[in-house]
Chains A and B, each alone.
Chain A
Amino acid sequence: MSPRTLSEKIWDAHVVHKGVEEPDLVFIDLHLIHEVTSPQAFDGLRLAGRKVRHPELTLATADHNVPTTDIDKPVADPISAKQLDVLDANTAEFGIICYPMGHKNQGIVHIMGPEQGYTQPGMTIVCGDSHTSTHGAFGALAFGIGTSEVEHVLATQTLPQLPVKTMAVEVQGSLPRGVSAKDLVLAIIGKLGTGGGIGHIIEYRGEAIRGLSMEGRMTVCNMSIEAGARAGLIAPDETTFAYVKGRDHAPKGEDWDKAVEYWKTLVTDDDAVFDTVVTLDASTLVPAVTWGTNPGQVAFIDSVVPGPDDFTTASEKDAAARALEYMGLTAGTPMREIKVDTVFIGSCTNGRIEDIRAAAAVLEGHRVADGMRALMVPGSHRVKEQAEAEGLDKIFTAAGFEWREPGCSMCLAMNPDKLSVGERSASTSNRNFEGRQGRGGRTHLVSPAVAAATAVKGYFAAPEDL
């Protein structure tokens, strides 16, 4: 067989029907569901009189709409409440396990899968959510789909897929102290642009990637979509196996040995060729802060806000001018002189235990700046419990942070946690689009450590500034 890349191997292992002048039909090992993109899919099933083919390969949770306070009370927004009820009713009707608000297994869909051991190497995983790429950190082929495709997977457990190009992002060197996986992925998106990955599956490779923890790898893969990529993945290795081992749904006993034996074959062959190769040196990176209204508009904490003149094409210049206007920023302003109103730590990008630890390490012994609104929102109930067991919640509350219940929270404006018009945030989430965190809100994407330092200073800051 000719040499293949990792994503091609996983793809080939899942082809149910090889397409001739039509897409391959690909089997889906795990289908994750949440309340926002599934109601119309279940309606479609009912309309056509179809069943869910594999309820046991389907798993649902409530995350986007849930409030992060008073979760023992009914959801106040009637439209959100209805969407959550509809998820409960649909999953009950079709025999799918669902973790509703407040359940000990509930959390952001992309945090829940890995932590319970559902996400494993070599799988195909889909969800009606673009950040499904997160699961690629395990060497799985994982991508976001729309509601029509959700219905398709529910009905057939397969998806027709046209071939995708492959891209290698090779990250040499190692990350300097104080520079995290989030800074790395923002640097990668800055380099590729929001459209650079379109039509590609990215495989992240190289020394810096191998050196990341599983959680760091999830942060990197999570934001693949922000460079336009269909998916992002990392070959599984000992770090991966150690993370999966012993989790609730991980293989056990003899099955574990068989699984690991297979997983070890999931690497790109030495002489396999990628359609595109991009390289980056991790050792030169510093903490990143976005300045504009798409995640490709990235600067570094030591630099200044760029202006239209810093760009070459007319469309980039135009986008920069528009972004500066929306963000209320002037070109040439040092990043450290931009005042911040709200700090949000959480989301499927940075709502895991290592993120909370990183932020707590910076916050310990400090207070947030006067007038600062600071939210710490764990990504799942399990993450929250773990953090509380380590006493991290005390560090946050002592510093003046609000310690919240799990959910998507201020990552997107679908629940009570929102920015108001003109309010500026330092956020560990993944999108700085206009209005993403609330109409008129201004979002800057940062790492958990930078978010924590910024909360203390009141202006963008790196941990060493404290």
Chain B
Amino acid sequence: MKPVTIITGRAVPLDRSDVDTDQIIPSDWLKRVERTGFGAGLFGEWRDDRDFVLNKSEYQGANILIAGENFGTGSSREHAVWALTDYGFEAVISPRFADIFRNNSTKQGLLPVVVEPAVGARLLEEVAKDPSLEITIDVAQGTLEVPALGLTIEFPLDEFTRARFLNGWDDIGLSLRYEDEIESFEQSRPRFMPSTR
């Protein structure tokens, strides 16, 4: 993945909780065997509604998504992350992310920003009022800033994930640093474990 250090831009307020991955990318899109082109399917069914927030002209070109709590619940489909990044999102802000979605997003350079519920609610409100509001997320500092509001908050990110974002590290390469240990573990596995051979 590409290194990610600072994300600056405007945000889309998606004022819903429990946004599941079936909504982020409907299952019809899962039949594709490619990794690109999923942006067109992002929130596929909701986008049929002209008034859906993503369709509004004032939010075109935004690169940050703000949502309610429990974002990305449900299916493990990484296609949900591919759809968000392909559409142009670089970060999602929510009070709580589903585990698998969060994992998938950190593999693809989509930054999950966890905020207090009150902060999340305030951001949703302010961005709805003023779509031009600029937000800056600093991965190294672990801060989210909205200068126009005089708001700076810190968000949690474990050091390993932070380093991966900053350096754009490939997970497989990182794990293969321990190939010797993998080999010795393999030698020690009990014989009764199942195998297809």
Within the assembled complex, what's the spacing in Å between the Cα atoms of A272 and B78? 35
B81 within 8 A of partner (CB): yes
| Interface residue stretch chosen among B84-92, B138-146, B172-180 | B172-180
Q: In the complex, are the beta carbons of B172 and A155 less than 8 A apart?
A: yes
Nearest CB of B to A289, in Å:
19
A369 within 8 A of partner (CB): no
Q: Which of B30, B172, B181 contacts A151 (CB 8 A)?
A: B172
Closest to A162 in B: B158
Closest to B46 in A: A434
Q: Which of B68, B73, B172, B193 contacts A156 (CB 8 A)?
A: B172
Closest to A15 in B: B185
Q: In the complex, are the beta carbons of A82 and B100 less than 8 A apart?
A: no
A145 within 8 A of partner (CB): yes
The residue in B22, B108, B196 that gathers the most chain A C-beta atoms within 10 A of its C-beta is B196
B56 within 8 A of partner (CB): no
Residues of A within 8 A of B108 (CB): 148
Closest to B35 in A: A40
| CB-defined A-B contacts under 8 Å, sample of 24 | A27-B185, A27-B186, A40-B33, A50-B172, A83-B32, A120-B194, A130-B75, A146-B100, A147-B78, A151-B172, A198-B70, A198-B97, A198-B98, A225-B74, A255-B192, A259-B190, A262-B190, A315-B68, A315-B69, A316-B17, A431-B74, A433-B20, A433-B22, A433-B23
Q: In the complex, are the beta carbons of A25 and B178 less than 8 A apart?
A: yes
Q: In the complex, are the beta carbons of A194 and B28 less than 8 A apart?
A: no
B4-38 with Cβ < 8 A to chain A:
16-18, 20, 22-23, 26-28, 30-35
Q: In the complex, are the beta carbons of B104 and A258 less than 8 A apart?
A: no
Nearest CB of B to A64, in Å:
8
B45 within 8 A of partner (CB): yes
Residues of B within 8 A of A48 (CB): 172
Within the assembled complex, what's the spacing in Å between the Cα atoms of A25 and B182? 9
A402 within 8 A of partner (CB): no
Within the assembled complex, what's the spacing in Å between the Cα atoms of A106 and B18? 33
A251 within 8 A of partner (CB): yes
Within the assembled complex, what's the spacing in Å between the Cα atoms of A129 and B104? 12
Q: In the complex, are the beta carbons of B34 and A433 less than 8 A apart?
A: no
Q: Which of A83, A152, A198 contacts B172 (CB 8 A)?
A: A152
Closest to B194 in A: A249
Closest to B77 in A: A37
A65-83 with Cβ < 8 A to chain B:
65, 77, 79-80, 82-83
Within the assembled complex, what's the spacing in Å between the Cα atoms of A157 and B35? 22
Q: Given A255-B191, A433-B22, answer yes or no on A146-B81 (Cβ-Cβ < 8 Å).
A: yes
Residues of A within 8 A of B30 (CB): 36, 64, 414
Q: Which 9 A-B pairs have the closest CB atoms?
A: A146-B104, A146-B78, A148-B107, A251-B192, A39-B33, A144-B76, A255-B192, A195-B70, A147-B78
Residues of B within 8 A of A145 (CB): 76, 100, 103
Residues of A within 8 A of B129 (CB): none
Q: In the complex, are the beta carbons of B45 and A435 less than 8 A apart?
A: yes
Residues of A within 8 A of B103 (CB): 145-146, 149
Residues of B within 8 A of A155 (CB): 172, 176
Q: In the complex, are the beta carbons of A199 and B99 less than 8 A apart?
A: yes
Interface size class of A (residues with CB under 8 A): 35 or more
Nearest CB of B to A245, in Å:
13
Q: Which of B104, B192, B197 contacts A148 (CB 8 A)?
A: B104
Q: In the complex, are the beta carbons of A129 and B99 less than 8 A apart?
A: no
| Interface residue stretch chosen among A53-61, A168-176, A204-212 | A53-61
Residues of A within 8 A of B51 (CB): none
A192-249 with Cβ < 8 A to chain B:
194-195, 198-199, 225, 228, 230, 249
Q: In the complex, are the beta carbons of B175 and A97 less than 8 A apart?
A: no
Closest to A251 in B: B192
Q: In the complex, are the beta carbons of B174 and A40 less than 8 A apart?
A: no
Within the assembled complex, what's the spacing in Å between the Cα atoms of A22 and B88? 29
A160 within 8 A of partner (CB): yes
Q: In the complex, are the beta carbons of A152 and B171 less than 8 A apart?
A: yes
Residues of A within 8 A of B193 (CB): 29, 120, 123
Q: Which of A43, A97, A230 contacts B196 (CB 8 A)?
A: A97
Nearest CB of B to A303, in Å:
22
Closest to A196 in B: B70
Q: Given A79-B31, A198-B96, A319-B17, answer yes or no on A157-B76 (Cβ-Cβ < 8 Å).
A: no
Q: In the complex, are the beta carbons of A158 and B78 less than 8 A apart?
A: no
Binary CB contact string for chain A from 244 to 275 against chain B (1 if under 8 A, 0 otherwise): 00000111000110110010000000000000
Q: Which of A21, A64, A294 contacts B18 (CB 8 A)?
A: A294
Residues of A within 8 A of B197 (CB): 56
